Amino acid sequence: MEKKALLNTREVAHFLDINEKMAYTLITEKGLPATKITGKWLFPMKLVEQWIETNTINYPKPSTSLPPYHGLLIIAGSNDLLLDITISLFNTLYPDHVAVFGNLGSMGGLRALRQNLCHIASSHLLQENENEYNFEFATKELEKMPAVVNFCKREQGILVQKGNPKKINSIADIARSGIRIVNRPLGTGTRLLFDHKLKEAGINCEKIKGYNTELHRHMDVGLEILSGRADAGPGIKPVASLLGLEFIPVRWERYDLLITKERFFDKGVQLFIGLLHEQTFIDLAKNLDGYDVTISGKVVFPQET
């Protein structure tokens, strides 16, 4: 039997094994993905499944582990332009090693780290206090807190078309009639921040045209806006600068690398972290507007006492 793409309230309540009243509560309090069409709530099955996975905290222990390090460095998690360039630099400088990246989003990176599928997870998940990043999420996801090394700070905001023809000047303007956006997937730090700011502004996300159109890379969001197929979307300033788009700043964020203590001293991991202190890396970041590398390579957890 083919799985339904959209569930009604009764069906999603049955799927989650809850009553229908609780389904409404989960929409408002826990961000259960839903959209209202002709006055009735509908729940995209794919997004409901993603929401369940994102909010899962009790996982079985992995049955396998990464083999001893033999030159293959696996990084997984949040997409970033400077990280892509740094991986290419690593592969150029160290021909006896190969670094590869899995674009899974911040939560996907933490899950990969928990499942021993990668050496390094990249993440920028904003905590509820809006002061710290990643620590609470790593504590929930992993049995033991990993080492956390800063990769960079970067500026998050809203990308809009050149010249800003729709006069989008704030998050609140996203909800205006005639505005079409593109979005990032659930489980990404960018989506987490975007949803937080929409909620803070009192915006009902299902009223935003294009809210459920998800793209997996920052550059894809930028290209969709550059092409004119969308008016705006959440993203990072380096993409806006490279593509000549306008940028509405929201906040600077800390983008970190998380590494289990068992793999921290693997040769490839140490070479990659060491690269963050090199002038070549610093110069690469200077060529991309929207990055701050003043604490790149610094261990932010465990903190020095």
Give the burial class of 160: count Cβ atoms within 10 A of its Cβ; 0-12 exposed, 13-18 middle, 19 or more buried: buried
Q: How many CB atoms sit inside 10 A of residue 296's CB? A: 24
- Is residue 159 within 8 A of residue 245, CB to CB? The reply is yes
Between 50 and 216, name the one with better pLDDT.
216
Predicted pLDDT of residue 1: 42
Beta bridge partners of 220: none
d(CA 137, CA 107): 8
End-to-end Cα separation, the chain, in angstroms: 58
Predicted pLDDT of residue 207: 84
Predicted pLDDT of residue 26: 86
> Hey, is 207 helix, strand or coil?
helix
- For the chain, what percentages of helix, strand and coil (3-state, to nearest 5) are there? 35, 25, 40
Looking at the predicted structure, is the pLDDT value of residue 242 above 50? yes
Query: What Cα–Cα distance (Å) separates residue 148 from each residue in 75, 107, 110, 120, 170?
Result: 14, 15, 12, 10, 32
* 168-178 mean pLDDT: 94
- Is residue 258 within 8 A of residue 148, CB to CB? The reply is yes
- Is residue 238 within 8 A of residue 81, CB to CB? The reply is yes
Residues 281-303: pLDDT tens digits? 999 999 999 999 999 999 999 87
Residues 2-33: pLDDT tens digits? 567 788 899 888 888 888 888 888 887 777 88
Instruction: Report which residue type is found at 244.
Output: G
Predicted pLDDT of residue 279: 97
Q: Is the dihedral of CA 220, 226, 228, 231 positive or negative?
A: positive
Q: Which range has the top average pLDDT, 17-31, 86-100, 126-140?
A: 86-100
- Is residue 168 within 8 A of residue 249, CB to CB? The reply is no
**pLDDT grade for 274, boundaries at 50, 70 and 90:** very high
d(CA 273, CA 296): 9
Residues 58-89: pLDDT tens digits? 555 555 678 999 999 999 999 999 999 999 99
- Is residue 221 within 8 A of residue 247, CB to CB? The reply is no
